[in-house]
Amino acid sequence: MQKPSPLGLPSSSQPAPLGFGLGLRPVYYPDILEHRPRVDWFEILSENYMVPGGKPLTMLDRIRADYPVVMHGVSMSIASTAPLDRDYLTSLKALADRVQPAWISDHLCWTGVHGLNLHDLLPIPYTNEALGHVAGRISRVQDFLGRRIAIENVSSYVTFAESEMDEQTFVQEVAERADCWLLFDVNNVFVSACNHDFDPFAFIHSIKPERVVQIHIAGHSDLGTHKIDTHDEPVCGEVWALYAEACKKFGGVSTMIERDDNFPPFEELLAELDRACAIAASSGRAMVSQAEALA
Amino acid sequence: MTLAELQTAFQDAVLNMAHAMPDSIMASRQQTAAERFGIYRDAYRLRLAEFLSNDYPVLRAVLGDESFNALARAYIDATPSPYRNARWYGRGLPDFMQANAPWQNTRAVGDLGLFERALADAFDAADSDAIDVSALACIAEEDQPRLRFTFQAGLALLNLAKGVAAAHQAVTGDFEVDPPSSTEEETIVVWRDRAQQAFYRVLEEDEALALDCASMGGTFAEICGLLSLRMDEEAAANHAAVFLIQWFTDGLIASIACE
């Protein structure tokens, strides 16, 4: 029997797949506005547009007129033990009212306590205490926003002796308890698997497909002793292999490539997107985007 | 250790290198616990320094990488971020420079920071459509002395060392100018133009006084009165009218109203 949702929605009501998207970054505004590239959708960094006005919001409005958009934040600090920031959430909700995103996401992490922000996606111990705390906060955020949100697994560089379960168990259980969606970051699984010596394929297979609404793929930096989630390199072969596995497991899930530094020509990102599309198609679980379904 | 205690200890140790990291951080096969925690300590400083570098590119070019990095380190150590949005972290940098040596000893460098901050603030200030000079046609002639003006949200009037704006333009345009004056000042108005670019103009002293008066809520009559302290009344009225038309042309004025 399906568990009742705090939002009064059936747990299986996933949004329709959007297809293959890219992160919207200012450096690419001219390419997008002049050439209307064959990208199914864009993901924005919410905080970049939580400003009073001006060109960022104007550009966003213009691009939103032609493309579906999802909102992805870095500052919700959902795992923090500090109180939820109502001002932040109010501003996020106002942006969502303007953008009408397909969904809103943020990270399974904390960014600060005691009124401060470290501007980083900080790790948590995978304890029952943290599980109850995070799930409760996600529920409260969903109630405030009036919609389900998607939570992303992060790359991490430390582990804690306090942990009582592995990361994938924690992620899956958070999603179940909070009745939220998951943004499954394949690169983050790979980076953390390398840093903490776990099997990334086992991670993928422990996640229930009905929770996953989006996949991130990205590049990272290999520093020999560890890997860092930098988003400044092309997607590597191991991450493509994991993505293929994720496609088999999760089916046709909206997929996007994150690039946040060392920006290549826009055509290179389109080529990576083509590769993602081909891998998804070869998995036998190719998605039908909302646009295609309506065509 | 509870989650709250762990987060407090983790944050304290990231912010303050002298504080011990949480005991429960574990080593990996390839790194010690301290090396792993160091990734977060280093990332914090690198990320905030990158925010500052992005917000003050000309200041960085003028100071050079080494000096700018020293400034960034000092600011970061003194200024943990209370902001959710990285956009606002660097706003305090010019004030920090004015309050601390050695930067407070070189006014032009601090003023360059003030100028870059004003340009950034104008860039994403709240939207309001600039009105055209034709709006004056709706104002009866006898009401014009009581006219007041509301300006664009991003408008800033800055008193800076003379030559700071030219130095900024020289760096962005890759040409050379004389260094800013250590004794003389100039007033600069910064705003966002109709093409949504942050823009600025160096003001002559009379216009600077007039715009300062108007932006503080002064009426057209009060602007004329202020200028008449520097010239005869007819010339003051003529100057005020010329300035007003220029402000409309520049797109500075968001609305007008009579008392």
Residue A60 lies in a domain: yes
Distance CA A278, CA A267 (A): 16
Regarding whether B170 and B210 lie in a shared domain, the answer is yes
Distance CA B229, CA A266 (A): 59
Residue A51 lies in a domain: yes
- Asked if pLDDT for residue A286 goes beyond 90, the answer is no
For tokens 């547009």, the residue is A49
Regarding whether B235 and B185 lie in a shared domain, the answer is yes
Q: Given this model, what pLDDT does residue B259 score?
A: 72
Regarding whether B85 and B161 lie in a shared domain, the answer is no
CB-nearest partner of A157 from B36, B44, B124: B36
Is residue A295 very low, low, confident or very high in pLDDT (cuts 50, 70, 90)? very low
- Asked if pLDDT for residue A11 goes beyond 60, the answer is no
Stronger pLDDT, A11 or A196, i.e. the higher one: A196
Distances (CA, A) of A39 to A21, A24, A67, A194: 6, 11, 8, 31
Number of separate helices (H) and strands (E) present in chain A: 10, 11
Distance CA A234, CA A186 (A): 14
Q: Is B195 on the interface with A (CB under 8 A)?
A: no
The single-letter DSSP state of residue A176 is H
* Shortest Cα distance, chain A CAs vs residue B54, angstroms: 13
Q: Given this model, what pLDDT does residue A1 score?
A: 36
Residue A4 lies in a domain: no
Show the tokens assigned to B227. 């200028």
Helix (H, G, I), strand (E, B) or coil at A229: coil
Phi, psi of B14 (to 5 degrees): -70, -45
Residue-level length of chain A: 295
Regarding whether B152 and B98 lie in a shared domain, the answer is no
Q: Given this model, what pLDDT does residue A283 score?
A: 86
Most confident segment among A3-17, A228-242, A279-293: A228-242
CA angle B158, B198, B153 (to 5 degrees): 70
Q: Is B145 on the interface with A (CB under 8 A)?
A: no
Q: Is A188 on the interface with B (CB under 8 A)?
A: no
User: In chain A, pLDDT over 90 holds for what percent of residues?
Assistant: 91
- Which residues of chain A are within 8 Å of residue B50 when distances are taken between CB atoms? none
Give the orientation angle of helix A237-250 with respect to helix A266-282, to 10 degrees. 50
Residue B233 lies in a domain: yes
* Shortest Cα distance, chain A CAs vs residue B13, angstroms: 12
Helix (H, G, I), strand (E, B) or coil at A116: coil
Regarding whether B139 and B99 lie in a shared domain, the answer is no
Regarding whether B206 and B80 lie in a shared domain, the answer is no
Distances (CA, A) of B220 to B217, B235, B239: 10, 14, 11
Regarding whether B244 and B148 lie in a shared domain, the answer is yes
Determine contact, residues B238/B194, Cβ cutoff 8 Å: no
* Burial track B42-60 (b if 16+ CB lie within 10 A, e otherwise): ebbbebbbebbbebbebbb
> Would you call A160 and B51 a contact, using CB atoms and an 8 Å cutoff?
no
Peptide bond into A68 cis (omega under 30): no
> Would you call A195 and B28 a contact, using CB atoms and an 8 Å cutoff?
yes
- Residues 40 through 59 of chain B touching chain A, CB cutoff 8 Å: 40, 43-44, 47-48, 51
Number of domains in chain B: 2
Closest CA to A153 of A211, A96, A99, A226: A211
Residue B216 lies in a domain: yes
Number of domains in chain A: 1
Regarding whether B62 and B141 lie in a shared domain, the answer is no
> Would you call B8 and A75 a contact, using CB atoms and an 8 Å cutoff?
no
Mean pLDDT (10-residue bins), chain B, 259 residues: 97 97 96 98 97 95 95 98 95 97 94 96 92 90 93 95 92 82 92 91 97 97 97 96 96 92
> Would you call A226 and B11 a contact, using CB atoms and an 8 Å cutoff?
no
Q: Which amino acid is at B117?
A: R
Regarding whether B140 and B81 lie in a shared domain, the answer is no
pLDDT digits (tens, 9 = 90+) for B167-186: 999 988 878 877 788 789 99
Give the range of the structural domain holding residue A270, as residue numbers without chain letter: 20-294
How many angstroms separate the first and last alpha carbons of chain B? Answer: 64
Work out the average pLDDT over A50-55: 94
How many A-B residue pairs are in contact by the CB < 8 A criterion? 132
Give the range of the structural domain holding residue B82, as residue numbers without chain letter: 1-105
Regarding whether B154 and B83 lie in a shared domain, the answer is no
Residue B114 lies in a domain: no
What CATH number corresponds to the domain at position B196? 3.90.930.50
Give the orientation angle of helix B220-227 with respect to helix B233-250, to 10 degrees. 130
Residue B197 lies in a domain: yes
- Residues 16 through 35 of chain B touching chain A, CB cutoff 8 Å: 22-26, 28-31, 33, 35
Helix (H, G, I), strand (E, B) or coil at B158: strand
- Asked if pLDDT for residue A18 goes beyond 80, the answer is yes
How many angstroms separate the first and last alpha carbons of chain A? Answer: 35
> Would you call B84 and A88 a contact, using CB atoms and an 8 Å cutoff?
yes
Contacts of B122 (CB under 8 A, 6+ apart): A54, B152, B154, B155, B156, B190, B191, B192, B198, B199
- Which residues of chain A are within 8 Å of residue B14 when distances are taken between CB atoms? 118
Is residue A7 very low, low, confident or very high in pLDDT (cuts 50, 70, 90)? low
Q: Given this model, what pLDDT does residue A287 score?
A: 61
Regarding whether B45 and B141 lie in a shared domain, the answer is no
Q: Is B36 on the interface with A (CB under 8 A)?
A: yes
pLDDT digits (tens, 9 = 90+) for A73-131: 999 999 999 999 999 999 999 999 999 999 999 999 999 999 999 999 999 999 999 99
Residue B116 lies in a domain: no
Residue A3 lies in a domain: no
- Asked if pLDDT for residue A289 goes beyond 80, the answer is no
- Asked if pLDDT for residue A9 goes beyond 90, the answer is no
Residue B144 lies in a domain: yes
Is residue A255 very low, low, confident or very high in pLDDT (cuts 50, 70, 90)? very high
> Would you call A118 and B84 a contact, using CB atoms and an 8 Å cutoff?
no
* Shortest Cα distance, chain B CAs vs residue A30, angstroms: 15
Q: Given this model, what pLDDT does residue A26 score?
A: 95
Q: Is B173 on the interface with A (CB under 8 A)?
A: no
- Residues 12 through 41 of chain A touching chain B, CB cutoff 8 Å: none
What CATH number corresponds to the domain at position A203? 3.20.20.150
pLDDT digits (tens, 9 = 90+) for B186-228: 999 999 988 889 999 999 999 999 999 999 999 999 999 999 9
Residue B81 lies in a domain: yes
Q: Given this model, what pLDDT does residue A288 score?
A: 56
CB-nearest partner of B85 from A50, A54, A116: A50
Residue A214 lies in a domain: yes
Q: Given this model, what pLDDT does residue A14 score?
A: 85
Regarding whether B181 and B257 lie in a shared domain, the answer is yes
Residue B117 lies in a domain: no
Distance of CA A258 to the CA centre of its chain: 10
